[in-house]
Amino acid sequence: MSIVVTGATGNLGRHIVEQLLEKVPADRITAAVRTPGKAAEFAERGVKIAAADYNSPETFDGLFAAGDKVLLISGNEFDKGRVGQHQVVIDAAKAAGVALLAYTSAPGSLTAALADDHRETEAALLASGLPYALLRNGWYHENYTENLAPVLAHDAVTHAAGEGRVSSAARADYAAAAVAVLTGEGHENQTYELGGDVAWSFAEYAAELSRQTGKEIGSNAVDVETFTGILTGAGLPAPLAGILAGVDASIEKGELVVESGDLSRLTGRPTTPIAESIAGALKG
């Protein structure tokens, strides 16, 4: 029996494989990746590597075995039909008779366009009849802390979220929750709403940046159309810019406030404070 992680060399996938290695023998872990060379460090540590591409269904033939626990990490190719990509994995998992298929989804309260593919994938997973676990991941700290250069250059956090709050957490926190589900028992047919313990506003985020940098950094709230233009001006493709601006609109409506406590309960510890992730980003 293996624990199979798809997209294992992505930002979240790497965290998950690293944390799995702390819990189970390496030969029980299979990292399914598009480019095996990127997983060389895992292979050197005894992790099984499988070449598998969401866009090539045949690469999933025989990848899973009966009794495997599988984590389907959602694809990030917004322009290539993510639901169809995810269906490839669901079909292969059903054919093999896996023990559990966990999926990294989005908060149930999120109505932004970003959530559409997740809802359709959830429906496909439930329709498959497979034992499932829905990991409805909230927003990541890193969505902000990995993009500090323009903030520090302009001394402003520009957003379209108004006074809305967001329950973000670190990727490592969400990874720990996934590992708990993949290595634990009793998670079949469960849905977990995952988010940070403490929700914050962009004004508070700007204030924390000011405190840690010694610069006066403001919170620059704009409307969704203006924010979309700023993002496209920075080089983002228009469809992606629209999706991200739409998430900010959802934040303003309170849709990314997660109060379930599921994330800290699954991991057995408090979630990482945003201030800690800011400090790590500034040092890096």
Terminal Cα-to-Cα distance of the chain (whole angstroms): 38
- Residue by residue, pLDDT tens for the chain (284 residues) are 799 999 999 999 999 999 999 999 999 999 999 999 999 999 999 999 999 999 999 999 999 999 999 999 998 776 668 899 999 999 999 999 999 999 999 999 999 999 999 999 999 999 999 999 999 999 999 999 999 999 999 999 999 999 999 999 999 999 999 999 999 999 999 999 999 999 999 999 999 999 999 999 999 999 999 999 999 999 999 989 999 999 999 999 999 999 999 999 999 999 999 999 999 999 97
The residue behind tokens 């540590």 is 45
Which pLDDT belongs to residue 12?
A: 97
The residue behind tokens 């030969």 is 27
**Domains along the sequence of the chain with CATH:** 3-138+171-194+259-267 (3.40.50.720)
Say which residues have a Cβ less than 8 Å from residue 268's Cβ, sequence separation at least 6. 180
pTM of the shown model: 0.96
Buried-exposed string 33-49: b where 16+ CB fall within 10 A, e elsewhere: bbebeebeebeeeebbb
Query: Helix, strand or coil for residue 135?
Result: strand
Cα–Cα distances in angstroms (integers) from residue 57 to residues 33, 38, 48, 87, 95, in the given order: 13, 21, 20, 9, 13
Which pLDDT belongs to residue 263?
A: 98
3-state helix, strand, coil in the chain (%, to 5): 45, 15, 35
